[in-house]
């Protein structure tokens, strides 16, 4: 009878992709006091600053990356 068997084929994952874990995405947690909203702000493409904006009023924030840095990961934008 036709339709009684189903053959599936899934190509194996390439060893290069499976062996290299993805680097964690760097972010800062920012509480926007202007609208009482919380958002993750991610590192920009050239890795010079964390840049983002309030999800409600679009107020922009920028945290420059400098020598020495900071151990803090959560900030309040007023």
DSSP 56: T
pTM over 0.85: no
The pLDDT value given to residue 14: 61
Q: What whole-number distance in Å separates Cα of residue 37 and Cα of residue 54? A: 7
Q: What is the pLDDT of residues 5-52, one digit of tens each?
A: 767 677 766 665 556 678 888 999 999 999 999 999 999 999 999 999
Question: What value does the mean pLDDT take over residues 70-75?
Answer: 93
Res 73 pLDDT > 70: yes
The burial class, CB within 10 Å (0-12 / 13-18 / 19+), for 41 is: buried
């Amino acid at each position: 009878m036709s339709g009684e068997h189903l053959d599936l084929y899934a190509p194996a994952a390439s060893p290069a992709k499976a062996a290299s874990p993805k680097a964690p995405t760097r972010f800062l947690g920012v509480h926007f006091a202007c609208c009482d909203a919380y958002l993750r702000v991610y590192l920009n493409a050239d890795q010079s600053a964390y840049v983002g904006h309030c999800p409600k009023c679009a107020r922009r924030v920028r945290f420059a990356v400098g020598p020495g840095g900071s151990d803090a990961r959560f900030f309040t934008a007023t």
